[in-house]
């Protein structure tokens, strides 16, 4: 059948929301031809999924679209923190947190930061970026069925506009098709976890007077706690466009039809504390928060990403960010295998690495919902009782104890209690400001298309020559940089009063050592010092990481 397919493509992506579009963007950056199918006619029109965490923004920075995202997010650039209050009239209530990065401490860890950009604003930026890189993205197209064999996947696709059908033959299929994932169900992959947590009706509305009630309080979200009209209020433009999440209790037999325009208007007015507030309902959509993770992240040549692989409570905005980071992890591995410089076994590490991250992160998300008393969430015993505390260790400090790494400590927690980005194998490589050919860059800007070896220009151990020979002999696109020669310390960061940062100490090695970083910016391996045979050592490590041995 596949020999007669109408289209042939290395990767087929099913689902064109944030995760599917990000998969397209990342594959496009790596030069991998692909086709994306999205059953809806265009990008999201509902302002949801707005919190893009620092790790996600690092990925978008390297992909070249960070400035476009910040431009799209300009209206909410000054909004920070979560307010919890019984009413917005007066100055009652308390800030659950006032700033995401108080004191600016994040700058030590990253060249970027959090960005508040709603899904309806972010998706068009991703779409434009993906298409500019040659992505074939088709809206109003739906995959009806698929079959896979040892060599690839054959899909039947329907054009929802014309009702015409055609076949696509792909080497691999990425299913970013949502929490009810037809692909996951077709593969027979189960899910584990507590399941449904709570449900909300998300309402978009216009109100010109609400800005006066809110005043100067520029929150990301406000939890309103009137027992008869609780909910979450989110600004869209801080002026007249808003979103309100009203608790919905289907477990009590409550139907969506009961959320009439009149009821929603009365609910919002009471929640805000302003009985005469102008409220013009412009749209509504229901959603359910859940905590569950797929038992496997794929089967054969089909992989799950985003909500098809995991669902988690919205508190902390972990869900979409985890999905975008799934896409990034999978994209470089697909590119490496398709280009022939990694073995197919590398793709097995997608599940090994990403699934434990989702299990740990979803538990933290539920715990944060309990901690913040999310409207509508009355947790059953045992749910949301996991570790609480900081957020940076969850979004930036997660690690891969097993997978495409050599020398990682298998006993370490996937999500540690503190952020320790010190160059340990399996962790995100440290950020340092450097200069390359006169241009200021972060070390993180070096990692995208290929493995990178860092060593010291003063080192007696010639890791640099070893890397060059291996790249020439094996076809692995290994890049090697010598700190102090190819890269120098940035004088803006290391002023005359302070010594320049020690890259080796920052990466947990010595000036005679070396650090191998994967295309996704995670440390694959590090050498603490000189080796008798640097080339032989590096060959063994690369074969183990890339599954070519």
Domain ranges of the chain: 2-78+113-191+293-395, 192-290, 433-546
Q: Where are the alpha helices (DSSP H) in 151-274?
A: 182-187, 210-214, 261-272
Output the six-digit token pair for 93.
């209530």
* pLDDT given at position 285: 87
* pLDDT given at position 445: 97
Calpha distance 522→399 (Å, rounded): 9
According to CATH, the topology of domain 2-78+113-191+293-395 is FAD/NAD(P)-binding domain (3.50.50)
Output the six-digit token pair for 461.
């151990």
- Mean pLDDT (the chain, rounded): 91
* pLDDT given at position 411: 92
Calpha distance 410→510 (Å, rounded): 23
- Sequence-distant (6+) residues with CB within 8 A of 331 are 23, 26, 27, 30, 32
Query: Measuring CA to CA, how many Å separate 66 from each of 104, 166, 321?
Result: 19, 36, 15
- Asked whether 34 and 27 are in contact (CB, 8 A), the reply is yes
* pLDDT given at position 371: 56
Q: How far is C-alpha 50 from the geometric centre of its chain's CA atoms?
A: 12
Residue 271 burial (C-beta neighbours within 10 Å; 0-12, 13-18, 19+)? buried
DSSP 3-state of 57: helix
Domain range 433-546, its CATH number among 3.40.50.10880, 3.40.30.120, 3.40.630.30, 3.40.50.300 = 3.40.30.120
* pLDDT given at position 497: 45
| Residue of 405, 411, 422 whose CA lies nearest to 525 | 405
Work out the average pLDDT over 224-247: 92
Query: Measuring CA to CA, how many Å separate 190 from each of 37, 175, 180?
Result: 24, 15, 11
Query: Measuring CA to CA, how many Å separate 248 from each of 245, 287, 288?
Result: 9, 9, 9
Residue 141 burial (C-beta neighbours within 10 Å; 0-12, 13-18, 19+)? buried
* pLDDT given at position 499: 55
Residue 118 predicted with pLDDT over 90: no
CA dihedral (253, 257, 263, 264) in degrees, to 10, reads 100
What is the share, in percent, of the chain residues with pLDDT greater than 70? Answer: 92
CATH homologous superfamily, domain 192-290: D-Amino Acid Oxidase, subunit A, domain 2 (3.30.9.10)
**What's the pTM?**
0.92
The 3-class secondary structure across 63-108, one letter per residue, is: CCCHHHHHHHCHHHCCCCCEEEECCCCCCCCEEEECCCCHHHHHHH
Q: What is the DSSP string of 320-345?
A: HHHHHHHHHHHHHHHHHHHHTSS-GG
pLDDT bracket for residue 288 (50, 70, 90): confident
pLDDT bracket for residue 381 (50, 70, 90): low
Residue 217 predicted with pLDDT over 60: yes
- Asked whether 284 and 202 are in contact (CB, 8 A), the reply is yes
Calpha distance 309→462 (Å, rounded): 43
**pLDDT per position as a tens digit, 1-60:** 445 899 999 999 999 999 999 999 999 999 999 999 999 999 987 776 678 999 999 999
Least confident stretch, 97-101, 311-315, 342-346, 417-421: 97-101
Q: Which helix (H) or strand (E) holds 358?
A: helix 348-371
Query: Measuring CA to CA, how many Å separate 290 from each of 68, 171, 193, 454?
Result: 32, 32, 9, 42
Least confident stretch, 48-62, 263-277, 417-431: 48-62
Least confident stretch, 99-108, 409-418, 459-468: 99-108
Q: Where are the alpha helices (DSSP H) in 140-260?
A: 182-187, 210-214
Residue 383 predicted with pLDDT over 80: no
Residue 367 predicted with pLDDT over 70: yes
| Residue of 288, 287, 320, 359 whose CA lies nearest to 19 | 320
* pLDDT given at position 1: 45
CA angle (183, 184, 186) in 5-degree steps: 60
Calpha distance 512→539 (Å, rounded): 18
Work out the average pLDDT over 455-481: 94
Residue 496 predicted with pLDDT over 60: no
| Residue of 541, 539, 548, 547 whose CA lies nearest to 471 | 539
Q: Angle between the 119-132 and 18-29 helix axes, to the nearest 10 degrees?
A: 30
Q: What is the DSSP string of 470-522?
A: HHHHH----EEEEETTTBEE-TTTS-TTSPPP-HHHHTTS-TT-EEEE-TTSB
**pLDDT per position as a tens digit, 499-521:** 567 999 999 999 999 999 999 99
Output the six-digit token pair for 378.
């009355």
């Amino acid at each position: 059948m596949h020999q007669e397919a109408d289209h042939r493509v290395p990767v087929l992506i099913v689902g064109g929301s944030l995760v599917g579009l990000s998969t397209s963007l990342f594959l496009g950056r790596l030069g991998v031809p692909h086709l994306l199918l999205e059953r809806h006619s265009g990008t999201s029109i509902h302002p949801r999924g707005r919190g893009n965490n620092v790790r996600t923004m690092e990925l978008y920075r390297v992909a070249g679209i960070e400035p476009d995202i910040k431009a799209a997010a300009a209206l909410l650039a000054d909004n920070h923190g979560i307010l919890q209050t019984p009413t917005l009239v007066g100055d009652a209530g308390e800030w659950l947190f006032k700033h995401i990065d108080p004191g600016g401490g994040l700058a030590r860890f990253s060249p970027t930061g959090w960005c508040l950009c709603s899904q309806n604003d972010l998706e068009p930026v991703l779409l434009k970026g993906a298409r500019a890189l040659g992505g074939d993205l088709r809206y109003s197209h739906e995959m009806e069925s698929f079959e896979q064999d040892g060599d690839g996947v054959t899909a039947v696709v329907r054009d929802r506009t014309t009702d015409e059908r055609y076949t696509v033959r792909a080497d691999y299929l990425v299913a970013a098709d949502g929490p009810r994932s037809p692909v996951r169900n077709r593969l027979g992959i189960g899910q584990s976890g507590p399941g449904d947590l709570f449900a909300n009706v998300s309402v978009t509305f216009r109100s010109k007077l609400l800005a006066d009630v809110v005043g100067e309080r520029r929150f990301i979200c406000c939890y309103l706690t009137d027992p008869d009209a609780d909910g979450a209020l989110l600004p869209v433009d801080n002026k007249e466009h808003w979103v309100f999440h009203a608790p919905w209790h289907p477990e009590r037999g409550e139907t969506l039809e009961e959320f009439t325009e009149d009821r929603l208007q009365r609910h919002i007015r009471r929640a805000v504390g302003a009985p005469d507030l102008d409220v013009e309902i412009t749209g509504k959509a229901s959603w359910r928060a859940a905590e569950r993770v797929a038992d496997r992240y794929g089967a054969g040549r089909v992989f799950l990403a985003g909500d098809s692989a995991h669902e988690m409570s919205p508190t902390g905005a972990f869900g979409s960010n985890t999905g975008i980071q799934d896409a990034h992890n999978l994209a470089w591995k697909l590119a490496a295998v398709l280009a022939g410089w990694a073995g197919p076994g590398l793709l097995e590490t997608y599940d090994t690495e990403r699934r434990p991250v989702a299990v740990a992160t979803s538990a933290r998300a539920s715990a944060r919902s309990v901690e913040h008393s999310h409207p509508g969430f009355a947790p059953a015993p045992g749910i949301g009782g996991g570790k609480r505390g900081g957020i940076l260790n969850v979004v930036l400090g997660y690690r891969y104890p097993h997978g495409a790494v050599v020398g990682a400590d298998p006993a370490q927690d996937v999500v540690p209690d503190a952020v320790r980005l010190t160059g340990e194998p399996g962790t995100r490589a440290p950020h340092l400001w450097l200069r390359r050919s006169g241009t200021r860059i972060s070390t993180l800007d070096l990692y995208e298309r290929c493995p990178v070896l860092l060593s010291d220009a003063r080192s007696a151990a010639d890791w640099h020559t070893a890397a060059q020979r291996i790249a020439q002999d094996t076809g692995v696109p290994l890049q090697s940089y010598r700190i102090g020669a190819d890269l120098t310390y940035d004088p803006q960061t290391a002023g005359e009063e302070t010594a320049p940062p020690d890259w080796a100490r920052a990466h947990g090695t010595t000036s005679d050592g070396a650090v191998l970083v994967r295309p996704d910016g995670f440390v694959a391996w590090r050498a603490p010092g000189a080796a008798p045979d640097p080339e032989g050592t590096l060959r063994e490590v690369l074969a183990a990481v890339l599954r070519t041995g």
